[in-house]
Structure formats: structure tokens, C-alpha cells
Amino acid sequence: MGDIGSFFPPGDPRWKDADSAIFLNLALEEVRTAGYRIVNVDTTLVLAAPKIGPISGDMRQRVAELLEIQPNAVGIKAKTPEGLNLDHVAQAQAVVLLESADDNVGIGLLEAEVDDPAKVDEVLTHIGVSEGLGTSKSRRMVPLPAFDTEDIT
């Protein structure tokens, strides 16, 4: 879809000191137009000041409101640039999990009662992973072999 500079050229004076909610709203509109919705977002801020800890709850709430998701689906962490040679630089990194707006399968699996094998089978069949899992009455996750800490090959 292009980067932020293709939508808001840095040399355009209209965007100087603009509210960042404008940029976020455009990104959200592009996500929705593409047929997706935001599941969660995790951000890391790298900066020396200001300290984020005291205001991180307010920031999470505001980002959640702007993205129309629950605050517990927003992660905001901060790091200092110590040792990174970025003492006078601020960076923001964000990772966003999207899901298809037309596909409620993931939500259905999360909402499926573990004690309702028919619902679990329905969801798993829909996403194509039901083969080889056994009958619904005996469905158990196959444990992975224990990690051998002595074997480093």
C-alpha cells in the first residue's frame, strides 16, 4: 500500500505538527479497505525522554480508542537508547496482527468450548487442519519430545 511518506510527503507543510491520529486513521482506513481488521498491536518506543511508564496506561487507552480495539490488545513498551549510539534519536516500532474481516474462524476457535467437540471439529474442518487429530472424544495435543539440553547439534 506504500509507506507513510507516499500518503503524507515530509516536504508538504500541511503535515507539519499534524495530529498523529490523522495518520493512524488513514492507515486504519487502508486496512479496512483491504478487507482486514486489527487483532492487536505491540509497540516499542526507543527514546531517552520522556519516561513512558507513568503515561503508558493512558497511551494504551488512546491507541485502543483510535484503533477500535480493546486496551488489552495494545502493548506499549519503552527502551532507552543506551549503547545503541542513538542518544538524540527517538524511534517507534510497531507490529500489528491483522485478520480477515470476512473470516471469523479464528474467533470461532477461541470461543469454542473445549467440552464441545462438535464446535471444535467444525472450526478445525473449516480451516483444514482436522485430519490426523483423532476423534473428537479423544482429541489431545500430541506432546513434542522433550528438548535434549545435552544435544547442541
**pLDDT, tens only, 31-88:** 899 899 999 999 999 988 888 889 999 999 999 999 999 999 999 998 888 777 777 7
| Distance in angstroms (rounded) separating the CA atoms of residues 86 and 47 | 8
Task: Rounding to the nearest 10 degrees, give the CA dihedral for residues 97, 25, 23, 70.
Answer: -50
CA atoms within 13 A on the CB side of 7: 12
| pTM of the complete model | 0.61
Per-residue pLDDT for 109 more than 90? no
Whole-number pLDDT of residue 58: 94
Structure confidence by residue, pLDDT tens digits, 6-28:
888 888 888 888 888 888 888 89
Identify the structural domains of the chain with CATH numbers, from first to last.
1-34 (no CATH), 36-101 (3.30.1330.50), 106-138 (no CATH)
CB proximity list for 95: less than 8 A, separation 6 or greater: 41, 42, 43
Greater model confidence, 136 or 129: 129
Instruction: Give the distance from CA 79 to its chain's centroid.
Output: 19
Q: Which residues pair with 95 in a beta bridge?
A: 42
Residue 136's pLDDT band, with cuts at 50, 70 and 90, is very low
